[in-house]
Chains A and B, each alone.
Chain A
Amino acid sequence: DAGVIQSPRHEVTEMGQEVTLRCKPISGHDYLFWYRQTMMRGLELLIYFNNNVPIDDSGMPEDRFSAKMPNASFSTLKIQPSEPRDSAVYFCASSFPYAEAFFGQGTRLTVV
């Protein structure tokens, strides 16, 4: 397997624009996680899915953030409208139940 695949690797957008980050988990993994990494807050869990169903979205910072998992091989994290404080590295990860999690290479988002 190619591992967790995220796209794009880098995204620069203007404040107010919609941003969509994409993730393809490792085939067969039941769990998918979205994390955000910043200098101030470290690595924080935003939301995670089990079998395509959102289980815990308590880490999603605001209503401007939304995540979907329409099928077992694809998930999106959307920010609308984007703000400069959303600038961060966003990671996607996947795992089997209560097992080792594997991370994608991340998307570096810059909102200007």
Chain B
Amino acid sequence: GIQVEQSPPDLILQEGANSTLRCNFSDSVNNLQWFHQNPWGQLINLFYIPSGTKQNGRLSATTVATERYSLLYISSSQTTDSGVYFCAVVRGGGGATNKLIFGTGTLLAVQP
């Protein structure tokens, strides 16, 4: 099956700092999503971004499907950004399914 790798596994930031999280995947994809799992365990949709670039406030994401990676940018980080960030993909190509496969996540801690 498709492999989804995220880096770094852990990240500690001071409030106000910027960061870039990376997601590499091993096959073509039809769907790519970024989620934030907050300290209460909720999975919050950040971006649906199988290709291209999107921005939402302090967050933006870019997926380069041909090179099989996606990046999530967090600018001017806040303590409320803390939690785990997941990348999840649906494999594309022949015999494609609708299975959303998750990476192992990046644990982010933003310190005041």
Contacts and interface: CB of A to CB of B under 8 A. Distances in A.
Question: Real complex partners, A and B?
Answer: yes
B45 interface: yes
Nearest to B97: A56
Nearest to B102: A43
A31 B104 contact: no
Contacts of A48: 98-99
B112 to A, nearest CB: 27
A89 interface: yes
Contacts of B88: 43, 101
Nearest to B101: A45
B86 A97 contact: no
Contacts of A108: 41
Interface string B74-91: 000000000000101010
Interface residues of B, number: 21
B41 A42 contact: no
B100 A45 contact: yes
A45 B41 CA distance: 17
A99 B50 CA distance: 10
Report whether over half of chain A's contact residues are helix, strand or loop; otherwise say mixed: strand
Interface residues of A, number: 25
A105 interface: yes
Interface of A: 31, 33, 35, 42-45, 48, 50, 55-56, 89, 91, 93, 95, 97-103, 105-106, 108
Interface of B: 30-31, 33, 35, 41-43, 45, 48, 86, 88, 90, 96-102, 104-105
22 contacts: A42-B102, A42-B104, A44-B102, A45-B99, A55-B97, A56-B97, A56-B99, A89-B41, A97-B98, A98-B30, A99-B31, A99-B48, A100-B33, A100-B45, A101-B33, A103-B35, A103-B45, A105-B41, A105-B42, A106-B42, A106-B43, A108-B41
